[in-house]
Structure formats: structure tokens, C-alpha cells
A and B are shown apart, each in its own frame.
Chain A
Amino acid sequence: MAGKVKWVTDIEKSVLINNFEKRGWVQVTENEDWNFYWMSVQTIRNVFSVETGYRLSDDQIVNHFPNHYELTRKDLMVKNIKRYRKELEKEGSPLAEKDENGKYLYLDFVPVTYMLPADYNLFVEEFRKSPSSTWIMKPCGKAQGKGIFLINKLSQIKKWSRDSKTSSFVSQSTKEAYVISLYINNPLLIGGRKFDLRLYVLVSTYRPLRCYMYKLGFCRFCTVKYTPSTSELDNMFVHLTNVAIQKHGEDYNHIHGGKWTVSNLRLYLESTRGREVTSKLFDEIHWIIVQSLKAVAPVMNNDKHCFECYGYDIIIDDKLKPWLIEVNASPSLTSSTANDRILKYNLINDTLNIAVPNGEIPDCKWNKSPPKEVLGNYEILYDEELAQGDGADRELRSRSGQSLGPKAGRSRDSGRTVLTTWK
């Protein structure tokens, strides 16, 4: 025995299993005494459900928060962010400042979104304001690009209209709910292709908020040249960057998988657009990730047995503004290329180093503050405890000037203490 961590998983992926084995951990089954359980999202529902759930003991850790869906379901994420913005506005916080058009200056990072069928009428009102716009329909509970389609005419979503007499849309359960968002039809293109960013963010606790960002994110490119032309709205290879979709395109390449590292992206942007706008872009990306976490922090069940590694999907438009598209609770651990496998292996490795200190049997009463050396390729994105140590006025000064102080340019720094200047 001698204190070897006992692990269980219901996700049979080599990047996980290899990491457990390399630490000398012992595999057990779910019914035995386990210390570490890497679960799928279905399992976490059961563990924490009122009927079938069970209490976790102090030496047990799981890789999801009980109600992670507050962040990872498309409709709830938007709800929480909208609520957060309204709260800040009520408080009179400078963060909730709006411009002359009524758009939030600092908190407008999610495209206009409505739930269907609940907000159908609100949506129609918005749609009629700009009838030539394109909207994207996404099922709330699905992943990997399943069930997504684009529309540019109201008739295409007649089914979701509550007033429709011919409505064949029967099911009212939340599983069939859709969100409809304004489609970003001016994405930043590189080599004429659309891409999105996948960034990994590890949250060890929500209150106080402590999160880490993985330095080695990547861009996923579409194989086909982008065109906003309406004739290609049905061509998912043009519009959806999910690898699960692109994999089936004719031109999909299995060696590099249509991916670039974030550092490549940075090099390209700095070379073609300049240093300042690139740094500003990346600062904004960090900002929106932290804000999204803060938005759900109050409603998140901050169970001390939990940590979570999210996959953030971000799209950059041609004005170099980043948009948060969605957050994934179970980012894919499948590897599409050799490089991918190495990246995901290292990701899990660094995650485990932070979540399970020293690879020993965990005690979830610990303060969740790992030493700097174990961070690996993670860097501290935001640490609320540290931030609270600084004065509140620093934030006001830095935010209203839209700059992050003199250290803002040193974004390549390890330690990332610069990010705590805003709260």
C-alpha cells in the first residue's frame, strides 16, 4: 500500500493512462477505495446527483465540478454572463461601462445570443433589425459540432417558433433546446482560412478563484477557404473548425491536422500587425477567460474535491477582437497527430502535478496553492487571493485606461503576476 494513489477512469485514453502509470499509481475499479477518478461528464452527474450520489471522502479527488454545466452548457454560460453583467451594472462598477450604442466596453465578449424556443420573440426582434445577418444554431447539450447549422432566413427556424401552428417541435426538455447566436462572419483569416483558438484553462477552486492557463494552446484551421457567401452556408467545412468535422474533409491532413501553435499565431500577428495590437489581443483573451470564470463563480458548487480542466474555444475577428464561443468540460483527449499526442500527454501531466501535489494521496483540505516549480507549461492566469492583497484602486486605474500597467508588455513572463492587477 504505502500510500500509492489509486485511480479510476471511465475514459479509455492512452494520454491519461500513461500518465497514471508513470506516476506508479494503482488502477482500481469504481467500487473500490479510490483516490483519483478521471470521470466523463455523465459519471459526474451520477456521483453528485441527489438520489444516487455519494459523499466523497477527504482523500478523493475528481476532475469535474458538480455543476460545471453552468459554464459548459452554451445556454447557461450565456445566462450567467448576462446576469453577471447586470449585477455589475447595478453595483455601478466601472467594468460594466457601456458605450454610446449601449454595448458593454469591457464585457462584450460573447456574441448576441438567445435561447430557443424561450426567447424566440426577442430573437425575431433582433433579427429584423439586421435582416442580412447570419445566425448560428447550436444544440445546447451536444459537442463536436454535432447538430449545428447556419441560417439567414427566419423561415429556416420556423420549428422553434412558439406561435407556429405547424410546429412539429414537440419536446420541451432542455436537452433539445438550442441557442442561436449572431454568427461572426468576419473572422480573422490566415492564408484565406478561418481558424479558432483552443486554450486549456485549469481551475482548482472558484472561491477564491484560482485558475491557470496552458501556454501551449493551438489554432484549428478549416481546410477550405473561407467565404461568407450565402451559397456556402451549408458547407460545414468552411465554417466549423471542430476537428471532428474537419477530419472528414477531403483535404484534411493527417500529419499536422490543420493546427498551428499559439506561438506561431503570435509570431504571424506580430510580424504582420505589430506588437501592440497583438499584445492587446492576447491580454483581451486572458481577460475574457477570467471574466467568464468570475461570472459563474457565485453559482458554482465549489466542492473541495474538485478541479477541472476546460477547453476554451475562442474566435478572433478581423478587427482583432476575441469572442468567446464556448467552454468545454471534456476537451477531447483524442490525438489527431503525433504532435497532438505529445501536447495532450504533457497537458495531463502538468494538470495532475497541480491537482495532485507530489503525486501523493490527496488531502482535499490543502490550500490548493502549488509551488511555482510544478506548474510546467501552465502559468497562473488569475489568483484571487493574491489579487485581493493589492489595492482595489489599481484595478480602476488600469481598466479605465485599457492598459494593464507597465508590465503589460512582458506577457511572456513566467509567473504572470501582471494579470492580478485587475480583479
Chain B
Amino acid sequence: MLQEESDISLIIAQIVQKLKGSNLYAQLERQAWASLQRPEIKLESLKEDIKEFFKISGLFPLPSHPAAPPEHLKEPLVYMRKAQGSWEKRILKSLNSMCTELSIPLARKRPVGEQKELLNKWNEMGTDEPDLSLFRPVYAPKDFLEVLINLRNPNYENGDSLSFRTHLGLIQVPLKVKDIPELKECFVELGLNTGQLGIDDSTQVPPELFENEHVRIGQKVLAEQDSAAAQQYIRQGSPTALRAELWALILNISSQPEDILYYEQLKTNVIQHDLLVDSLIYKDVKLTASNDDYYFVFEDYLYQVLLCFSRDTSVLNHFAYNSASPPKSYIRGKLGLEEYAVFYPPNGKILSINFFLSVAPLCFLYHEPSKLYQIFREMYVRFFFRLHSISSHPSGIVSLCLLFETLLQTYLPQLFYHLREIGAQPLRISFKWMVRAFSGYLATDQLLLLWDRILGYNSLEILAVLAAAVFAFRAVNLMEVTSLAAAEAVLADLSTLKVMPLLQIFLFATVT
């Protein structure tokens, strides 16, 4: 901080120096001298009075420009905002109708006996067997994809004639996406001449060449607690042993007593009140996480984190820059009265199916619930929320889809065209990978290497690049399939893929 302050004073001093020779300064000085005659200026508070005088005299109007309306911070394009709005209405309607159908309140206070029971079972909610057959997920990625496919910019006219510039993919909005030369510039640290974890730490490469030095630098970064350096460092991947700390450093998470207290408070909220969305979360985790080869062990952590997440109102803050808005509900009987409006769920986020996949990989790094929770929440409000809302942001899901399709169409045109012809639009297969940031599809160690780069580059674009790289890798097999089902089968199992070589080859070793 001290460094910053002295920097700023230095800059101010420099500006003052420059101003001294200008006309403006002469004017100011003259006015100041003249104002000394005025009665409001007193000797004791000379500095303040003169400042006040300048302000109200209107001599020097304060520089200003019309402030951007808050909606623009969320999403500058109107048609995107509208689309997000109607998508939200749909979700809410679905939730409300399920609620009415099942006659279950959106929220209710738990009776004391039930509270005690839940508290006892807090660490093993996985053993519960409530009847969840009537609950349906509110929405699935497929539904979301359909909405994205139908997005249109009303100001944009494609023209009827097909040309080589026509985009053949599913996404039909004109957003700017990077091409490979631009991606190469952006992801320069992934280049062939730079050491990477995920490539240069494989068993055939002697650790003296890269790995040992990289680990040493990582330890230094952690010792200095330099968040910006950590972000730069992690672009080359994080050593397994340092990853937990590095991520915490980059995300600015430090476990202070107040954080632990906050988590405990959330836990209490879960115990005291039962939300309808809780059952949805429960069913989702039960059916899917408990069957996952890697994540089944952490089933109980997933319940804890997700239930607390639903109660966390601090998450509402991120809606300032999220194109989405939290669904509002009203206390029974007070429909429409703003004083009785609440956000439902309290954190404003209705979760899609398999949402737990964003949490599960983190269980490999953090076994303390409150720290796990904080890391997850920060990852969500920085990155993952963009995968669930309609926006024009370069890391938003719309841009990622478009980036993926464009890369494929531009650099693998034959494959793209073939798949399109057989009714297997590539996005239909890769969408589920991207919307889950590949969690549940890659082996855990590979996934963590990928998420290292998300943190390092502060962008999700790498997900689209990886998706395209996977298609490129399996291109030969894909060229031979004749149906969507067969294409899905070729791409069903990604668990043996090594992420970094794929990315490197696609970006840096393919003739473009």
C-alpha cells in the first residue's frame, strides 16, 4: 500500500509540475487571489474555503460524462439482456409450477426435531434416502443450448445468399471471437518453446530440464504471497503440491476467522430452513456424483457446499456484472409489494443439473469445508457464472460456443461440413463439455491442469479451444461416422486425454 501511495503522490506531483506552466494554472491563480477579497474566505480554513468557492462558482465545471446505466455493466447489448430475461422467466415458471404441483412450499422453517436430526447427519447426508422421484431438475444444458441457438441480433441482417463467410454452426449471433493467430498471442505461454506442466513433467523427461526449477519458482511465489505473480506463474501449470495454495492466493482467499464464522452461519441457515431447491440439489448429487469414478468419495462435501451456497446472499453481489438477475419472490399474501420481496433462492441462483461438477474437483485440493466453500464461491462469481447466463462477454457461454464453432469451421472445414451433413452439429456434442468446464469428462489431474490455465489467463476461452482440439484429435474417426449417435460414441470417453499436448498441437503445431 505504501508503495502505491507514494506512486500516486509522485504522479500528482508530476501533473502539478506540468500544469504550472499552463494557462489554466495562471487563471486559477488569478481567481484565487481575487477570491481572497470575498467575505466567505477565512484565513483559518483558507485551503478548504477556496476549494468550496471554486466548486460552487461554476467556474470550473467538474469533468463528467453520463454514467453508464447499471444494466450496461451487466450486459451492454439489449437483445442479449432481453433473451436472458425471458430465459429466467422460463426457469422461474418451471420452478413455481413444480412447487404448486407437489404442493411443497418454496421455503419452510424446519421443526426443531428435524433440525437436530440434520445437524447430526451433517457429515453424512449421503446416506439419506428421501423420496425424490417427483422432483425434476429445473433445466438441463440441452434446454439452455436451444435458447442460445435461437438468439438473434435484430439489427443484423445476414442476407439470404450463402457465401464462404456464412457461419454454418448453430450459433447465429455476430460476436467477435479470436482466431488462431490471436489465440496464439493470447496464450503465448502455452507455446512449444515454453515449459509446461502436463507435458514437460512426464516420466520420460528428466526433472532437471524444467520441473525442478518450476517447482522452485512456485515455492518462491508462495513465499512472497504475490497474487499477480502467481497468476502469471500458473499459466505454465501448477505443481500438484502447490496448487491448493496457489489457487487460494490467486483468488484472494485466506481463511480468516470471520470466513469460518460466515460458513458456520450459512450452515445454521441450512439447518433451520428447508428450501425446495435443496431437494433438487440432493437428487442431482445423489444420482450422479455417487456414480462418478472419482467424485463419489466426496458426496457428502458436495451436499454441504451446495446447500450453503444456496443460502449465501453475498453471491447476490455478482449480479452487478452478471447479465442474469436473481429471481424474486414474495412473502405469501404480499405479492407485488416490494417490501416483502425476497430473492429465491437467497443467493439468487437456480442451479442447473449436475452443477455439483463445478465443486467436485475442488474436493481434491481442499478438505476443510469452509475453505472449500470459499474457493468454490470465488471460482463461481469470477468464472463459472458466465457459463450459465446469456451475455456478449468473451468468456460468456455464447462467445465460447461461437469460438468453438468458428475454430472448427475455419481450421477443420472438412470435418465440420461432414458432421453437419450427417446431422451431428459439433456444438451439440461439445456444449456439455464447455458448460461444465470439462468437469466429469476429463481425468482429475488433467482437469486441474486445465483449470490452472483458466485462473492464469482469467478467461474461459481455453475451454472452447480445448473442445476444438479434441475434435481435431479424433478427426479421423469422426470422418467415418454416419450419425449423431456414432459421433457421440467416438467422443464419449475423454478420460484418457492429455489436455496440454492437445492444446499445444492445436494452437502451435497445426498449419493454419
Contact = CB atoms under 8 A, between A and B. Distances in A.
B290 interface: yes
B240 A339 contact: no
A283 to B, nearest CB: 16
Nearest to A412: B203
Contact of B123 (A221, A225, A410): A225
Interface stretch (B149-157, B188-196, B272-280, B291-299): B291-299
Contacts of B299: 191
Interface stretch (B361-369, B465-473, B482-490, B502-510): B361-369
Given A192-B124, A256-B291, A414-B203, A267 B445 contact: yes
Interface stretch (A23-31, A113-121, A269-277): A269-277
Nearest to A411: B203
Q: Tell me what chain B mostly uses at the interface: helix, strand, loop, or mixed.
A: helix
B444 interface: yes
A260 B297 contact: yes
B364 A268 contact: yes
Contacts of A270: 240-241
Interface in A216-234: 221, 224-225
A275 B364 contact: no
Which of A191, A258, A413 has the most chain B CB atoms inside 10 A of its CB?
Answer: A191
A264 interface: yes
B239 interface: yes
Contacts of B366: 272
Given A267-B444, A339-B293, A275 B239 contact: yes
Contact of A271 (B123, B207, B241): B241
B356 interface: no
A5 B420 CA distance: 52
Interface residues of B, number: 30
Given A272-B367, A275-B239, A224 B127 contact: yes
Contacts of A272: 244, 364-367
A412 B205 CA distance: 11
A256 B292 contact: yes
B240 A271 contact: yes
B432 interface: no
B503 to A, nearest CB: 20
A139 B362 CA distance: 42
Contact of A221 (B240, B294, B297, B365): B297
Contacts of A253: 290-291, 296
B373 interface: no
A141 interface: no
Given A271-B240, A272-B244, A258 B293 contact: no
Contacts of B367: 272
B126 A251 contact: yes
A193 interface: yes
Given A190-B297, A274-B241, A255 B291 contact: yes
B312 interface: no
Interface in B270-316: 290-294, 296-301
B243 interface: yes
Contacts of B300: 191-192, 225
For chain A, the bracket of interface size reads: 20 to 34
A409 interface: yes
A413 B123 CA distance: 39
Contacts of B292: 256
A391 to B, nearest CB: 25
Contacts of B294: 260, 264
Which of A258, A271, A274 has the most chain B CB atoms inside 10 A of its CB?
Answer: A271
Contact of A192 (B123, B293, B444): B123
Nearest to A266: B240
A125 to B, nearest CB: 38
Which of B240, B292, B300, B445 has the most chain A CB atoms inside 10 A of its CB?
Answer: B240
Interface string B228-244: 00000000000111011
A415 to B, nearest CB: 10
Contacts of B127: 224-225, 251
Interface in A234-272: 251, 253, 255-256, 258, 260, 263-264, 267-268, 270-272
A264 B300 CA distance: 18
A180 to B, nearest CB: 30
B203 A413 contact: yes
B297 A267 contact: no
A256 B294 CA distance: 9
Interface string B360-397: 00011111000000000000000000000000000000
A414 B204 CA distance: 9
Contacts of A275: 239-241
A337 to B, nearest CB: 9
A264 B446 CA distance: 12
Nearest to A223: B127
Interface string A84-126: 0000000000000000000000000000000000000000000
B367 to A, nearest CB: 6
Interface string A391-423: 000000000000000000110111000000000
Interface string A146-170: 0000000000000000000000000
A27 B212 CA distance: 53
Nearest to A268: B364
A253 B243 CA distance: 31
Contacts of B244: 271-272
A382 B296 CA distance: 35
A267 B364 contact: yes
Nearest to B241: A275
A289 B103 CA distance: 60
Contacts of B448: 271
A315 B296 CA distance: 20
B241 A258 contact: no
A271 B367 CA distance: 10
B291 A191 contact: no
A191 B444 contact: no
Contact of A193 (B290, B297, B444): B297
A139 B316 CA distance: 60
Which of B241, B291, B365 has the most chain A CB atoms inside 10 A of its CB?
Answer: B241
Interface string B121-154: 0011011000000000000000000000000000
A410 B297 contact: no
A367 B269 CA distance: 69
Contacts of A224: 124, 127
A127 B366 CA distance: 38
A258 B124 CA distance: 16
Contacts of B301: 191
Contacts of A260: 293-294, 297
A308 B16 CA distance: 86
Nearest to B243: A271
Contacts of A278: 241
5 contacts: A192-B123, A251-B127, A258-B296, A260-B294, A275-B239
Interface of B: 123-124, 126-127, 203, 207, 239-241, 243-244, 290-294, 296-301, 363-367, 444-445, 448
Given A255-B293, A271-B240, 15 more contacts: A191-B297, A191-B300, A193-B297, A225-B124, A251-B127, A253-B296, A256-B292, A256-B293, A264-B444, A267-B445, A272-B244, A272-B364, A275-B240, A275-B241, A410-B207
Interface of A: 190-193, 221, 224-225, 251, 253, 255-256, 258, 260, 263-264, 267-268, 270-272, 274-275, 278, 339, 409-410, 412-414
The 7 tightest CB contacts between A and B, nearest first, are A191-B297, A275-B241, A270-B240, A225-B124, A274-B241, A255-B291, A256-B293
